[in-house]
Structure 1
Amino acid sequence: MSTLYLFAGAAEPVFDIARVIEEAQADGWDVCLGLTPTAARWLAGSLEGLGVLTGHPVRWDYAFPGEGEVWPEAAAVLVAPATFNTVNQWALGIVDKFVVGVVAEGIGKGVPMVAVPCLSAAQARHPQFERSVETLRRVGVSVLHGEGEVEGGDSALFPWRAALDAVRGVVAVG
C-alpha cells in the first residue's frame, strides 16, 4: 500500500477530512494527516480519533531535533484545502509551518503533489496568488485551480473526489 500525505489548511472543507481519509483509504492509500496550526486548532477535539483512523499520529508541527520520523515515506502528497497563505508560502519557500516545509522539500525530492486551493474570489485576484500557482505548476505540482475549478470555502462544493482522482493520476497506488 502506498502512502499519501494529506495536508489540510484552515478552510471550511477541512471539517470533512475524516470522510476524505476514508475515501482515500478505500482507494488503496495509507494516509498520513498533516494540518496547518490553525486547522489543528479547529480540529483539536478530533485529532486523537483522526490518528486512530489513519493509524499514524496527526502532525502540525516540526519534530524536535533528534526525534525519529514517525511516518512512512510518501508516494504522493495532496494539499487540500490549500489556503491562500499556504499556496503563497509554498511557492515562495517560506517554511515556518510543518506542512509547507514538507511540500517545499517534496519539490526537490520529486514527490508527486496535487494542490487544491480554497480561497475567496478576492484572494484569487491578488497578483501574488497567480504567480504562486504558476510557480508551483512550473516545478511539477498539479494545481487544480482556474476556469471551471471551485473557489471559496463551501464544503459541499469542494472537489474532494477530483482531488483524490488527480492524485491517482500523478502516481499509481500500490
Structure 2
Amino acid sequence: MTANRVLYLLGSAAPPVLNVRSVIEQAQAAGWDAYLGLTPMAARWLDDQLPELERLTGHPVRSKYKLPIEPDVWPPADVAILAPATFNTINQWALGITEKFIVGFAAEGIGKGIPLITMPCVNAAYVQHTQFHQSVSTLRGMGVQVLYGEGGFVPNEPGKGRPDSYPWHLALEAAARVIAG
C-alpha cells in the first residue's frame, strides 16, 4: 500500500512513548505517512532514538515550535493522534495552555477541523483530580475523540503501569475509521 494519508503522532512523556517506533511501523504498514511530534520531555526520553526515528519516518521529529521565518516542513495532517497524553497534556490542551508544540497544534487543530484522537496515559490517582474529568469532557465537547475508559485506556494503580500493554492499536484503528468515513 502506498502511504499517502498524513498521520501526526504526537506524544508526551509517559512510558508508552518509549514504544513509538513500533507504532510508527504499524502506521506505515497501514498506509500512513507518519510524522512524529513530542513534548520536550518526551524528546529528551527518546534523545538517543531521534535520528533513527527521523530515518524511519523520513521526516524531522518536532518538539518545539518553528520560528515565524522558518518554512513548515510538515504537510497538513489528515488525522492526528495525541498519545500517550499525560495528565498535564490533557489539562493544558483543554485549558488552552499552548506552550508546548504538540498541545498548540492540537488546540489549533480543533478550530481547523483536523480529526483529533487522544488516548490518556494516567494512573488512578491522577484521575481523582476533578480537573482531569473536566478536561476530558471539554475535549470531547470540542469534537476530540478521547479514548478513555471502556473501549480506551483504563488507568492503573500508581506504580503498576504496563507500558507494553498500552492500547496503541485502538488509536490507530480510530484513525483508520476517520479516513474510512
Partner of residue 54 from structure 1, selected from 57, 80, 99: 57
Distance 1:57 1:75 in 2: 18
Distance 2:142 2:94 in 1: 10
Partner of 1:171: 179
Partner of 1:87: 90
Distance 1:171 1:90 in 2: 24
The Cα of 1:163 is off from its aligned counterpart by 1.2
Other structure's SS at 2:41 match: helix
Partner of residue 155 from structure 2, selected from 148, 151, 154: 151
CA contact (8 A) 1:119 1:151 kept: yes
Partner of 2:120: 117
Query: Residues 42-81 of structure 1: matches in 2 within 5 Å?
Result: 42-81=45-84
Partner of residue 162 from structure 1, selected from 162, 170, 179: 170
The Cα of 1:63 is off from its aligned counterpart by 0.6
Other structure's SS at 2:77 match: coil
Per-residue CA distance 1:45-88 (angstroms, 9 max, x = gap) = 01011011001000000011210000111000001100000000
Aligned residue pair count: 173
Structure with bigger RCO (C-alpha 8 Å, 6+ apart):
1
CA RMSD of aligned residues (A): 1.2
Moved over 6 A (4+): none
CA contact (8 A) 1:13 1:155 kept: yes
Partner of 1:14: 17
Other structure's SS at 1:111 match: coil
Q: State the TM-score, normalizing by the size of structure 1.
A: 0.96
The Cα of 1:125 is off from its aligned counterpart by 1.5
CA contact (8 A) 1:150 1:157 kept: no
- State the one-letter code of the partner of 2:112: K
- State the one-letter code of the partner of 1:24: A
Partner of 2:131: 128
- Unaligned residue ranges in structure 2 (runs of 5+): none
Q: State the TM-score, normalizing by the size of structure 2.
A: 0.92
Distance 2:88 2:8 in 1: 19
The Cα of 1:164 is off from its aligned counterpart by 0.4
Partner of residue 138 from structure 1, selected from 137, 141, 147: 141
Query: Identity percentage over the alignment?
Result: 55
